[in-house]
Amino acid sequence: MAVEILMPALSPTMEEGTLAKWLVKAGDKVKSGQIIAEIETDKATMEFEAVDEGTISQLLVAAGTAGVKVNTPIAVIVEEGESLSTAPKAAAVVAAPVAAPVAVASPIVAPAAAKAQGARVFASPLARRIALEKGLDLAAVAGSGPHGRIVKADVEGVQTSVAAKAAAAPAAAIVTASKASMPTGMSAETVMKMYADRAYTEVTLDGMRRTIAARLAEAKQTIPHFYLRREVRLDALMAFREQMNKGLETRGIKLSVNDFIIKACALALQAVPNANAVWAGDRILKLKPSDVAVAVAVDGGLFTPVLRDADSKTLSALSAEMKDLAARAKSKKLAPHEYQGGSFAISNLGMMGVENFDAVINPPHGAILAVGAGIKKPVVMKDNTTGVATVMSMTLSVDHRVIDGALGAEFLKVVVELLENPIAMLA
């Protein structure tokens, strides 16, 4: 039976992508798990693998095609012994992303109806194996893959799916209502008319820039931001960092000031656990681990890779992980789970000479810390004499629905104390 391979959803927010490269051609035989294409999303270039065996009959979308909508047929595969000219039937998807599958389509046949009608239930081999181990009836499981195919995530989460849907319903209603009332701003036509007599170059938005524009506009329109500002003296940290880097030189490790900031924020989230929270539509989720996102500038936009369990990692481990994530972010090789999640973010523009700024919260995070440059300034010392110190400005942007002023101030106080007494981060 000929089946269509559909454009996959490689992240929860993906609506379209670019079919960057085919790794197979018509007539090629493919095996389960074989990489058959590379697909660019708004955030990364990801590999796309076959689930079942067969022969590629047709490639419906050419390599390099941009703006391919999720669930659009991109190729046809036939089973052993079938003619390559066999007409495709909308039966099941036979390829899946290497990343975790995402719910993007409704089943052709509802599970209950499939069971009643005795229709074939389409599922990936891995999903079938997990279902067998758990004793699940696949006919009772709703498939989240294209054309209702049951994938790994469906059978792993079947026990919690009802509660999750119940929790998501009111949140979805709130988001829908808020989007309906959002201002859209001036249209492209209106703006272009204003500058009709001026020379300009029109820049077409790529997927990343469109996503950033939509998310940040939504964040500023829907999140009640407020801001807390503190200065921190870095002289003790700079001296401590120099001493540590000398000891780590033989291991090829060099700690940055940002590594200390990440560690300080992670520990502060543990010390002030009520600040380690995210907004979930109609409720607050308080996280136990300190999962800290760090903004990384890339060509045409930015990523916020997440350092998971940052509170329990050493400074050298955090430094190595951050370097790896930043390098792969710049080449758009991060997987979705590496830049999604977290409860808190850090945006550091100090290395670019920016003294202070206000960052926009990345939903659903409860807060983001904007870090400026360390600058030598005249200060009053502890003995009331005047002196010079390296001072860094920090601004905490806070979602008032999640964190109140006093709580945010308590969190920021712990961050400052840790940065001014860095040896405490090793305790």
Does residue 275 fall inside a structural domain?
yes
DSSP E strands in 26-168: the ranges are 29-30, 35-40, 45-50, 54-59, 65-69, 73-78, 95-97
**What is the Cα 52 distance to its own chain's centre?**
29
One domain for residues 148 and 235 = no
Question: Is residue 122 located within the same domain as residue 16?
Answer: yes
Report pLDDT for 86.
54
Could you give the maximum distance between any two Cα atoms of the chain, in Å? 89
Residue 148 has pLDDT above 60, yes or no: yes
180 inside domain: no
**Residue 96 and residue 145: Cα distance in Å, rounded?**
8
**Do the domain assignments include residue 163?**
no
Span 320-367, pLDDT tens digits:
999 999 999 988 888 888 988 999 999 999 999 999 999 999 999 999
Percent of the chain scoring above 90 in pLDDT: 45
213 inside domain: no
Give the 3-state secondary structure percentages of the chain, helix then strand then coil, rounded to 5: 35, 25, 40
pTM: 0.63
Known active-site residue 400: yes
pLDDT at 118 over 80: no
End-of-domain residue from the set 117, 136, 156: 156
Provide the pLDDT confidence category of residue 266 given band limits of 50, 70 and 90.
very high
Counted domains in the chain: 2
- Distance separating alpha carbons of residues 275 and 343, to the nearest angstrom: 9
151 and 229 belong to one structural domain: no
Which residues share a beta bridge with 376?
Answer: 390
CATH number, residue 299: 3.30.559.10
54, 78 in Cβ contact below 8 A? Answer: yes
Q: 25 and 108: one domain?
A: yes
- Is 175 a domain residue? no
Q: Is the pLDDT of residue 183 over 90?
A: no
388 and 280, same structural domain? yes
Query: Distance from CA of residue 344 to its chain's centroid?
Result: 13
Looking at the structure, tell me whether residues 392 and 299 fall in a common domain. Answer: yes
pLDDT of the residue at 22? 93
pLDDT band at 224 (very low <50, low <70, confident <90, very high): very high
Query: In this predicted structure, which of 142-151, 391-400, 418-427 has the lowest mean pLDDT?
Result: 142-151
Tokens coding 296? 């990384």
Which of 100, 132, 156 is the last residue in one of the domains? Answer: 156
Domain limits at 240? 225-426
Residues 20 and 123 placed together within one structural domain of the fold: yes
- Both 281 and 418 in a single domain? yes
Pairing of strands 367-380, 344-348: parallel
pLDDT band at 14 (very low <50, low <70, confident <90, very high): confident
* Residue 83 located in a structural domain: yes
- 145 or 88, which is more confident? 145
Q: Indicate the residue among 156, 176, 207 that finishes a domain.
A: 156
Same domain, 258 and 363: yes
Per the domain annotation, does 351 fall within a domain? yes
Q: Residues 380, 277: one domain?
A: yes
Each residue of 268-290: pLDDT tens digit? 999 999 999 999 999 999 999 99
| Phi-psi category of residue 212: left, alpha or beta, with phi > 0 → left and psi -120 to 50 → alpha | alpha
Task: Give the per-residue pLDDT at 287.
Answer: 96
Contacts of 39 (CB under 8 A, 6+ apart): 7, 8, 10, 17, 18, 19, 20, 45, 46, 47, 48, 97
Apex CA 396: angle with CA 367 and CA 336, to 5°? Answer: 35
313-321 contact pairs (CB < 8 A, 24+):
313/263, 315/244, 315/255, 315/259, 315/260, 315/263, 315/425, 315/426, 316/248, 316/251, 316/253, 316/255, 318/259, 318/262, 318/263, 319/253, 319/254, 319/255, 319/256, 319/259, 320/253
Conformational region of residue 252, where left means phi above 0, alpha means psi within -120 to 50, and beta covers everything else = left
Catalytic one of 147, 225, 365, 400: 400
User: Does pLDDT of 111 surpass 90?
Assistant: no
Return the CATH number at 14.
2.40.50.100
Same domain, 230 and 148: no
Residues 144 and 254 in one domain: no
Whether the pLDDT of residue 181 is over 80: the answer is no
Which pLDDT belongs to residue 387?
A: 92
Residue 403 lies in a domain: yes
Give Cα 270 to chain centroid, integer Å. Answer: 22
